Amino acid sequence: MGLNKAYKGYKAYDYLTPGEDYMEFALTSKDRIPEYLVPLSADEEQRSLRLAAEKMIISMHEHPVYNPLELNQYGMQRHRGRSFCAYEGLAESYLDCTFDNLMNGSCWITSHNGWKWTDVVHDLGMRLCDVAHQDFLVHVRTADEILRAREQKKIAWVACIEGAMPIENELDRIDILYGLGVRLLGLTYSESSALGSGLKEARDAGLTAFGRKAVQRMNKVGMLIDVSHGSTLTAIDAAELSSVPICLSHTGARSLWNSKRLATDDAIKAVAAGGGVVGIEAAPHTTITYNRRTHDIDSVMEHFEYVANLIGIDHVCFGTDTNWGDHVGLHGLFAKALSTAETRNTEEFPRVTHVKGVENPRESSKNLLRWMVAHGYSDEDIEKVMGGNVLRVLRAVWK
């Protein structure tokens, strides 16, 4: 689709009056960081534009919102339960489909610790109301709906919940989330839950008995299982138990950088063995490597190539985990609430203000494609990685 999208200028909550219907916050600009594009020759530039127009481009994990300009207002905004989808920024991207993980653990409407059922449903309902008042993002529930949205020059929007803690011990809440249009659910979010061990834990016990029931229920309803924030044994258990493919929607290879936030080779292989897909992420200071300690698109793509060589090009995609705003600053806010401090590598490496080349969904969707063109990947492999592999998994899972 490239840049030729049917966007008509709608901005989040245009149907309301700012300051009257909701508290207004100054939001970050979509151009906070000047756009960087991977350099291409004239021929490569034309090929890149052709591929963007011809091929499906999907990100398996994003938070495509404009965050508050002043980070000290972030908690206040989240307390009011309304985040602002970046429609204009998405319209300028190459994306045909984005998996939106909403506020998730930062949904602090009634709790300082997040992950409460009422808060997550509040957040989801608020976003669904906003999406319902515009016609550019299409809330999709099937793979065919993704294809139809692309044909209409619109962006397919997939509602996701990054961790299953809100279901507590209620299997039926999986059905409720599905009924509300959620199509991807993470089993854990760093901390262990009733379902299994999270990636921050010192002892790895894998899935619990309840977690095994949850996997089976998710298979029955047609919910894609995500183990990005699960422990190695949780990922392996889920991959082996699931009757359909699962995913690591946003991760990297721990073999390249010893961080709990990244997946072990065993977890990556288990997901691929079940027919699943592994998305490479680019949140600040995650997918760096011992070869490239300064986080940028080249370090991200080192993770991509490592994983592709490990499990094959048919099982790799991207879930860059980006947004519009000071993502590095957000990680500082999240250090306690979302366990970012407890899962990262503590070795010395250069801190960056942003990840060059993959700062937000607009930039990453362009540059991942451009990088593969610049490095001589075939049209077939680019098609698989940029969207085809994800579509294959969705067709096998979604009902």
* Confidence band, pLDDT 50/70/90 cuts, at residue 171: very high
What pLDDT is stored for residue 323 in this prediction? 95
Residue 211 has pLDDT above 70, yes or no: yes
User: If you average pLDDT over every residue of the chain, what do you get?
Assistant: 95
Rounded mean pLDDT, 170-183: 98
Residue 161 has pLDDT above 80, yes or no: yes
What pLDDT is stored for residue 338 in this prediction? 59
Residue 2 has pLDDT above 80, yes or no: no
Helix-helix angle 265-273:232-241, to 10 degrees: 10
What pLDDT is stored for residue 1 in this prediction? 63
What pLDDT is stored for residue 330 in this prediction? 86
Spatial contact of 359 and 322, defined as CB atoms under 8 Å apart: yes
What pLDDT is stored for residue 3 in this prediction? 74
Query: Could you give the C-alpha distances from 323 to 63, 84, 93, 102, 397, in angstroms and in order?
Result: 5, 11, 12, 11, 27
What pLDDT is stored for residue 66 in this prediction? 96
- Coil, strand or helix: which one is 248? strand
* Confidence band, pLDDT 50/70/90 cuts, at residue 342: low
Q: What is the pLDDT of residues 72-113, one digit of tens each?
A: 899 899 999 999 999 999 999 999 999 999 998 888 899 988
- Coil, strand or helix: which one is 55? coil
Q: Is the model's pTM score more than 0.85?
A: yes
What is the spatial distance between Cα 124 and Cα 103, in angstroms, rounded to a whole number? 9
Q: What is the pLDDT of residues 102-142, one digit of tens each?
A: 998 888 899 988 899 999 999 999 999 999 999 999 999 99
What pLDDT is stored for residue 334 in this prediction? 73
DSSP class of 27 = B
What is the spatial distance between Cα 54 and Cα 58, in angstroms, rounded to a whole number? 13
Domains, in order of start, for the chain: 42-397 (3.20.20.140)
Q: What is the pLDDT of residues 228-279, one digit of tens each?
A: 999 999 999 999 999 999 999 999 999 999 999 999 999 999 999 999 999 9
Query: Could you give the C-alpha distances from 244 to 181, 187, 271, 303, in angstroms and in order?
Result: 19, 15, 10, 25
Q: Looking up tokens 């989808």, which residue turns up?
A: 85
Torsion of CA 40, 42, 44, 47, to 10 degrees: 140
* Confidence band, pLDDT 50/70/90 cuts, at residue 348: confident
| Residue 170: both structure tokens together | 């209620």
Q: What is the pLDDT of residues 288-313, one digit of tens each?
A: 999 999 999 999 999 999 999 999 99
Pairing between β-strand 84-85 and β-strand 65-66 as defined by DSSP bridges = antiparallel
What pLDDT is stored for residue 278 in this prediction? 99
| Residue 341: both structure tokens together | 């401090």
Spatial contact of 266 and 238, defined as CB atoms under 8 Å apart: no
* The amino acid at 395: R
